[in-house]
Chains A and B, each alone.
Chain A
Amino acid sequence: MTESERTITVDYLARVEGEGSLRVRLRGETVEDVELRIFEPPRFFEAFLRGRSYLEAPDITARICGICPVAYQMSSAHALERALGVTVGGALRDLRRILYCGEWVESHALHIYLLHAPDFLGYSDAVRLAKDHPDAVRRGLALKKAGNHLMQVLGGREIHPINVRVGGFYRAPSRAELDALRPELEQALEIAEETVRFTAGFDFPEIEEDYEFVALRHPDEYPMNEGEVVSSHGVRLPMDRFEEVFEEVQAPYSNALQSVHKGEGSYLVGPLARYALNSDRLPPRARTAARAAGLAPVERNPYRSIVVRSVEVVLALEEALRLIDRYRPPDAPCVPLPATFPATGAAWITEAPRGMLYHRYRLRADGLIEEAKIVAPTSQNQKRIEDDLRHLVGKSLRWDDAALTTACERAVRNHDPCISCATHFLTLEVERIPEGTGESPEANRAAPTLVVGLGQEDRGDDRAGIEVVRVLRRRFRGTEVEFLEGPADVALLLDRWSGRERTIVVDAVRSGRPAGTIQVLEVLGDRLPPTYGGSSTHGLGLAEAVALGRALDRMPRHLTIWGIEVGTIRIGSPPSGPVLRAVEDVTDRLARELGGPRRAARET
């Protein structure tokens, strides 16, 4: 340390403030942007599995979630058994369903009583709820304990059970061990029915969302370990064809993957979806409880998921008791697995408490895993939760940020116990932009520079402009530069660039040059920018916007177009290599031109 150097002593104990933040951009009365960001970095479980024995998969993947480890064990074991051509039936099949029932009870009880119910009763958390409503919280804990006991007896311990293996179990319980659980389960079943009455009495916001529900459906039981994939938009396919219709995408602002129904958009998995697609498969007591609670056969109000979840607790306990009744210990705790097999692979889906969990494996002939793919329910619901939030914010524009934060946290808690736990600390960032009057160019004088990225999200190279703007937006946060991204829309472009000192538009172009070629064009005099219809809405693109802007005298003083030559535009594919390199190049050059902070490291 040189003597001219100073050090500022801080002594601050760092805290985990929250795992998620929500960024909302409002322009006047319009919600322009909603981004749910999950900070938790990737954990690379799919990579860990490569090169490991297939026999390890259930125990490794169980570590992905402390609330639903059984789901990971069930999806992995079934996928691997299918790959080996092994079927697990009879008492072993029943034991697996009982174990899953235990996890459903445990997870749902936690979500209902400790995370969700306080919202409806006006408490910030379950501890404060317990002071005024101790009986309610006690019911929750009693349910959770019953679920725990099932997990303990069948799985060897309550969390991260150790008794599940490919082919069955390491040890099957005796008849007496399961019988010993009966009194507690019967009592829990009554508590579960009381829980349905309790939650049905809450006040629910009158909201209906137009969900595409996706769940498994089985010929004669409420789905857990088996079935085919069905959706409320008419999808019906065997589970191993899941990836043909649904895919995971990476949003640049979030570390959690999002899933979409290809060509359709977001969809919802979990209790609301399962119930909507399987309410005719509920066993008698669950069905009676649902009817008494006033549930329709399809519920589209996300807040009512707490009632549906309660009905599923009744179902899980009812099922566990039914299966325990008919239990006869199997001859062996595990079916024999082939000692040798050719290279193989398979996929399977089971219903985790919060929704479908997809596993796919490819095995080498020596039994080592070559490739693993896991699609968790949390990522499947991520995009749909964003859509819920977008609608909520659109209806609550006049609320202050504190009220909006609370409402958004509640909306997240409707769907997921993990994000919902994290989002007790949701950081809400609201950018409120006064609406342009549409007449006065003066409205935009506050920010002299606007950078526009034109393109469409999931059309390969066409998203080049969007990529550039997303990186720059982060780098220039809190500065005088404003950003806009999305498909070209004449009205929006005129509104946003009119009267500015400078506007820079980054767009994909097609002029016959090699992909990735960058062209910079100052729009002067009567020249029009090159037309490229790829990213416009209703056929009115950038050229039309310039022409119209001139006619109406609604132009920025300086307009520069940065064109990135596109290669292929394939729906659902990522941008090509040359275009990605051009995106980086343009980003760096624009950053220098805008005078922003220099960076050494590459952004991922």
Chain B
Amino acid sequence: MHEEALLRDLVRKVEEVARAHRVERVERVRLWVGALSHLTEGTLRARWSMATIGSVAEGSGLEVESSLDVHDPRAQGVVLQSLTPRSPWKGSGHPPSVREKPPVSPSS
């Protein structure tokens, strides 16, 4: 239950981050799945290609780290860790790193 709504939120966030960084296409997305999350790596993979249709992440690969730590404060959640743009970075070789604070409001 609820995987579709969660995936939509993830894709929305990927789009938002991509826009902010002027990324046109996303090559790879990395997720962290808490030990107590109601979703599994399998569920996420199975739905990723559908959930990203029409978005900057359409056709992107998915990397999933499944945590086993039930005491992690975010053990019940799924975390969008990072995304990799498709076009090669034509810069100094020092990729920018942006860290955003997780939202304060609780997940439902």
Q: Which of B8, B80, B84, B91 contacts A11 (CB 8 A)?
A: B80
Query: How many Å lie between the Cα of A13 and that of B73 in the bound state?
Result: 11
Known: A14-B10, A16-B2, A41-B3. A6 touches B80 (CB 8 A): no
Query: How many Å lie between the Cα of A39 and that of B99 in the bound state?
Result: 30
**Contact partners of A1 in chain B: CB under 8 A:** 84
**Contact partners of A8 in chain B: CB under 8 A:** 17, 21, 23, 82-85, 95-98
Query: How many Å lie between the Cα of A10 and that of B16 in the bound state?
Result: 11
Q: Provide the B65-77 mask, 1 if CB < 8 A to any CB of A, else 0.
A: 0000000001001
Q: How many residues of B contact A (CB 8 A)?
A: 49
Residues from 58 to 108 in B contacting A, C-beta threshold 8 Å = 58-59, 74, 77-85, 88-91, 93, 95-100, 102-103, 105, 107-108
Query: How many Å lie between the Cα of A2 and that of B27 in the bound state?
Result: 13
Query: How many Å lie between the Cα of A7 and that of B107 in the bound state?
Result: 26
Nearest CB on B from A203, distance (A): 29
Q: Which of A9, A13, A41, A600 contacts B78 (CB 8 A)?
A: A13
Query: How many Å lie between the Cα of A597 and that of B12 in the bound state?
Result: 18
Q: Provide the A462-480 mask, 1 if CB < 8 A to any CB of B, else 0.
A: 0000000000001101000
Q: Is the CB of B108 within 8 A of A5?
A: no
Residues from 536 to 567 in A contacting B, C-beta threshold 8 Å = none
Nearest CB on B from A14, distance (A): 5
Nearest CB on A from B14, distance (A): 8
Query: How many Å lie between the Cα of A2 and that of B90 in the bound state?
Result: 12
Q: Which of A11, A17, A477, A604 contacts B102 (CB 8 A)?
A: A11
A-B contact pairs, 13 of them (CB 8 A): A4-B88, A6-B85, A6-B91, A7-B82, A7-B97, A11-B100, A12-B79, A14-B6, A17-B5, A17-B8, A255-B4, A599-B53, A601-B50
Interface residues of A (CB under 8 A from B): 1-19, 39-41, 255, 425, 474-475, 477, 597, 599-601, 603-604
Interface residues of B (CB under 8 A from A): 1-6, 8-10, 12-13, 17, 21, 23, 27, 30, 47, 49-50, 53-54, 58-59, 74, 77-85, 88-91, 93, 95-100, 102-103, 105, 107-108
> A4-B93, A13-B74, A474-B54 known; 10 other A-B pairs, CB under 8 Å?
A2-B88, A8-B96, A9-B97, A10-B80, A10-B100, A11-B80, A13-B78, A13-B102, A13-B103, A14-B10
